[in-house]
Amino acid sequence: MKITTSLAVFVLLACPGLSHAQTFPSKPLHIIVPSVAGSSPDVRARQIAAKLAESLGQPVIVDNRPGGNGLIGAQQAVKSPPDGYTMFLALINNAIGDAANPNPCCRLNFELVPVTRFTMTPLVMVAHPSVPAATLKEFVALAKARPDALTYASSGSGSINQLLGEWIKSESGIRVLEVPYKSVGAEVPDLLSGQVAAGFIVPNTVGGPIKAGKLRALAVSGPQRLAILPEVPTLAEAGLPGVEAIVWNGIFVPAGTPQPLIRTLHREIVRAFDAPEIREQVAATGSYIAGDSPEEFASFVRAEVAKWGKVIRDAGIKVQ
C-alpha cells in the first residue's frame, strides 16, 4: 500500500499537469476574442462557449479585445497564467502579423500554442452591378483598360482582404486602388452604394445582397465552390490558379499550459464542434469545421505564415 501511494505521489510530482487535470476546471474559463461583439469570430466563440459550459460544468466567458489586427487580444492572452482557464481565438490576421511583422511577445506556435482549429471560410470577390464586368476575366480586362480607375475595399493594412487584393493585382498585372476601412464589414455599405467597386467579403455577409442583385459575385477564394453559392467559380476556375485565401480561426493557450489540460480542452472543444446544430449553423454561412489535433493545427499555422510571407514579399506589399 505504501509503495502504491509513494508511486502515485512520485507521478504527480513528476507530472504536475496531471494533478491540475484531475480537478480541472474548478472555476470559470475565458475565451479572448480579438474582434468586437457581434462580429463573425465573436459569434463563433459564443457558439462553442455555451457548449463548453455545458460539458465542463463551469461558465465560459467571451472577452472581446479588438485592435491591432489581433495583436491586442494575443497580448492579453499571453499575460494570462498557463493554467487552461484562458483561451485565445486566434484569427488568420494573427498569422499574417507573424509573417509580416512578428512580435516576440505573442507569436502563434511560440508564446501561444495550439489546441485546435475551428472554422475555415473562403472569401467572395464581389463587385457593384454598376461595374461593367460579369466575370473576373472581364474585371481584369476592364482594370487593364482603365488603370487606377477601379477600387477595392480592404480592412486595412495586413488584413486578409488587402493581401488577397494585392495578390490578385500582382498575378493579373492590373492597377486597382485600395480603399482601406477600419474594421471588418465596415466597407459593406459603400459596396452596396457603389462608392467602392469591389471587395472580398465572407459569404454570410454578402449572400443576401448577391441573391438580391445588389452585388455581383465574381469568384470565391477557396479550393472549391461554395454549396451556398454553387454558380460562383473559384479564383482558379476564373483564371487565377494558385491564388487562394481562407479566413480561419482556432483556439490557442499560453505556452507552458500542461499537456493534460490541452488534451482536455481539445477533447471538449472538438465535441462542441461536432454538435449537429453547430455544424449546421457553420455550413449555412459558407464555412466548414476543421477540428484538427494540436500538432496538425501547428503545422497548418506554419504553412500559413510561410504562404503569406511569400505573398507579401513577391507582391511588394507594405504591411504597417
What is the rounded average pLDDT of the residues 9-28?
A: 68
- Averaged pLDDT of the chain: 91
DSSP state of 229: B
Residue 67 binned pLDDT confidence (cut-offs 50, 70, 90): confident
Cα gap 205→235, rounded to integer Å: 19
Question: So what's the pLDDT on residue 319?
Answer: 77
Domain 16-120+248-314: what homologous superfamily? Answer: Bordetella uptake gene, domain 1 (3.40.190.150)
How is residue 4 written as a grid cell?
A: 502504491
How is residue 176 written as a grid cell?
A: 486597382
Domains 16-120+248-314 and 124-220 are alike in CATH topology: yes
- Residues 160-169: tens digit of each pLDDT: 999 999 999 9
Question: Exposure of 170 by Cβ count < 10 A (0-12 exposed, 13-18 middle, 19+ buried)?
Answer: middle
pLDDT at 76 over 60: yes
pLDDT at 183 over 80: no
User: Domain 124-220, CATH 3.40.190.10 — does that match?
Assistant: yes
Question: So what's the pLDDT on residue 1?
Answer: 46
Q: Which of 179, 176, 173, 208 has its CA nearest to residue 192?
A: 208
- For the chain, strand residue ranges (E) read 29-33, 60-64, 86-91, 112-122, 124-127, 151-154, 177-180, 198-201, 216-220, 246-254, 288-289
Helix (H) or strand (E) run with residue 44 in it: helix 40-56
pLDDT at 126 over 60: yes
Question: So what's the pLDDT on residue 15?
Answer: 57
What is the rounded average pLDDT of the residues 196-223?
A: 95
What is the rounded average pLDDT of the residues 54-82?
A: 94
Measure Cα distances from 128 to 38, 191, 216 in Å: 25, 6, 6
Q: Are strands 216-220 and 60-64 parallel, antiparallel or unpaired?
A: unpaired
- Residues 268-320: tens digit of each pLDDT: 999 999 999 999 999 999 999 999 999 999 999 999 999 999 999 988 888 76
The domain locations on the chain are 16-120+248-314, 124-220
How far is the first Cα of the chain from the last one, in angstroms, to the nearest whole number?
64
Cα gap 29→87, rounded to integer Å: 8
Question: So what's the pLDDT on residue 40?
Answer: 83
pLDDT at 134 over 80: yes
Question: So what's the pLDDT on residue 114?
Answer: 98
- Residues 89-124: tens digit of each pLDDT: 999 999 999 999 888 999 999 999 999 999 999 999
Question: Exposure of 69 by Cβ count < 10 A (0-12 exposed, 13-18 middle, 19+ buried)?
Answer: buried
Question: So what's the pLDDT on residue 53?
Answer: 96
Question: So what's the pLDDT on residue 267?
Answer: 97
Question: So what's the pLDDT on residue 226?
Answer: 95
Question: Exposure of 79 by Cβ count < 10 A (0-12 exposed, 13-18 middle, 19+ buried)?
Answer: exposed
Q: Which of 123, 86, 93 has its CA nearest to residue 108?
A: 93
pLDDT at 11 over 80: no
pLDDT at 178 over 90: yes
Ranking 15-29, 83-97, 177-191, 244-258 by mean pLDDT, the lowest is 15-29
On the question of a cis peptide bond just before residue 25, with omega within 30 degrees of 0, the verdict is: yes
- Residues 42-54: tens digit of each pLDDT: 988 999 999 999 9
Percent of the chain with pLDDT over 70: 93
Percent of the chain with pLDDT over 90: 79
